[in-house]
């Protein structure tokens, strides 16, 4: 564990920022000056128990939230995708939240004695654009996924391979410019993305981040992001399946075909028409024509018929298992899940046999 007093300061700052409070606004809530709030956050002043209760009440959190301590894992953030406007305090806050979430998940995995390293993910050499397509086909083949069908539950497939899927709450829209992250931490591969995003975007993000984990790109002149997009597109929409659904060549496509394919393969219509152009099923002209139509209808910002996002139950299930087996306390289980004891005990699925 880290320095407990230093952790309190970090927790105070993180919670204040997530509440969208400036130092001045927090000071008004606490009846103290903004510089005084800042000193508590920097660890220059250590709050006593009475002051901790004041902070907890002002921020509407539990005192235990202020006392949390994390084994912060070392992370490189190399495959960290974001828009340029995500920077400064918001970026640092997001990285801290990700590290805390990763720390919790790795702790839970280790306490469950799950041997992730026994199931190394295969790497695929990628020297050109077409290798990304081949890698996606080989991935499906290696893990017994038919190239003629959609992948119904991508999260389940990857979790069974030992990849941790971690979702970050987009509190107050603060992290909307974050796209995704993949990294191997302590020999454990993981993918991080935002929670509560449309299923089609969620799945493409996961497939893109998977590409960062499995593609071994030797040619440094290649655009890694484009290769990962190609892998994701090929993984979610295999060439054989797309040809089976649409045919080898089309001069016109109906909106209903795109909508039906979206429903079956759980990909956006925008990604589908790009894939059709990529496979030369439709011409560049038809691709642009559909894109212009989509733009005029506002589909670039909000595409109709959104797909339900996939759900991961693994982390919660592992925490419950640890608590039932008395490996962790009830308080620690609630801490890991971010719920109160009452909420934990009132869960419909918490009946014990």
pLDDT for 279-295, tens place per residue? 999 999 999 999 999 99
Q: Write out pLDDT tens, residues 155-179.
A: 999 999 999 999 999 988 889 999 9
Token pair recorded at residue 116 = 């992730």
pLDDT, position 121: 86
Write down the mean pLDDT value for the chain. 91
Q: Write out pLDDT tens, residues 9-45.
A: 888 988 888 788 889 999 998 999 999 999 988 888 8
Is residue 293 in some structural domain? no
| Residues 100 and 209 occupy one common structural domain | yes
Is residue 25 in some structural domain? yes
How many percent of the chain have pLDDT more than 70? 96
Strand arrangement of the beta sheet that strand 79-82 belongs to = 79-82, 178-185, 188-194, 164-168
| Residues 96 and 216 occupy one common structural domain | yes
pLDDT, position 18: 78
Contact call for residues 211 and 228 (beta carbons, < 8 A): yes
Specify the pTM: 0.85
Residue 115, pLDDT above cutoff 70 = no
| Residues 99 and 180 occupy one common structural domain | yes
For 215, residues 6+ apart whose C-beta sits below 8 A from its C-beta are 123, 124, 126, 132, 135, 224, 227, 228, 231
Over residues 97-117, the mean pLDDT reads 86
pLDDT, position 1: 41
Is residue 225 in some structural domain? yes
Domain-terminating residue out of 188, 205, 238: 238
Q: Write out pLDDT tens, residues 182-228.
A: 999 988 999 999 998 999 999 999 999 999 999 999 888 899 999 99
Q: φ and ψ at 173, to 5 degrees? A: 70, 15
The number of folded domains in the chain is 3
């Amino acid at each position: 564990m880290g320095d407990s007093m230093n952790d309190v300061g970090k927790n105070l700052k993180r919670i204040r920022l997530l509440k969208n409070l400036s130092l001045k606004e927090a000071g008004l809530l606490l009846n103290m000056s903004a510089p005084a709030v800042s000193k508590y956050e920097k660890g220059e002043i250590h709050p006593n128990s009475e002051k901790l209760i004041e902070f907890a009440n002002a921020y509407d959190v539990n005192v235990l939230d202020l006392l949390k301590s994390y084994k912060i894992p070392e992370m490189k953030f190399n495959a960290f995708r974001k828009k340029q406007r995500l920077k400064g305090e918001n970026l640092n806050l997001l990285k801290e939240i990700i590290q805390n979430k990763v720390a919790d998940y790795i702790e839970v995995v280790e306490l469950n004695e799950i041997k992730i390293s026994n199931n190394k993910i295969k790497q695929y050499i990628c020297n050109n654009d077409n290798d990304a397509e081949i890698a996606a086909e080989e991935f499906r083949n290696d893990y017994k996924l038919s190239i003629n069908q959609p992948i119904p539950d991508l999260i389940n497939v990857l979790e069974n391979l030992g990849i941790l899927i971690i979702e970050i709450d987009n509190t107050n829209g603060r992290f909307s410019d974050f796209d995704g992250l993949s990294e191997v931490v302590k020999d454990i591969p993981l993918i991080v993305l935002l929670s509560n995003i449309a299923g089609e975007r969620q799945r493409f993000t996961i497939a893109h981040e998977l590409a960062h984990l499995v593609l071994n790109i030797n040619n440094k002149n290649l655009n890694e992001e484009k290769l990962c997009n190609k892998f994701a597109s090929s993984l979610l929409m295999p060439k054989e399946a797309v040809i089976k659904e649409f045919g080898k060549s089309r001069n016109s496509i109906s909106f209903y075909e795109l909508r039906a394919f979206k429903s079956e393969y759980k990909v956006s219509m925008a990604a589908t028409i790009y894939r059709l152009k990529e496979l030369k099923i439709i011409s560049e002209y038809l691709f642009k024509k559909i894109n212009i139509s989509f733009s005029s209808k506002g589909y670039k910002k909000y595409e109709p018929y959104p797909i339900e996002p996939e759900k991961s139950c693994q982390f919660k299930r592992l925490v419950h298992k640890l608590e039932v087996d008395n490996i962790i306390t009830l308080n620690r289980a609630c801490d890991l899940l971010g719920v109160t004891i009452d909420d934990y005990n009132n869960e419909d699925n918490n009946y014990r046999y």
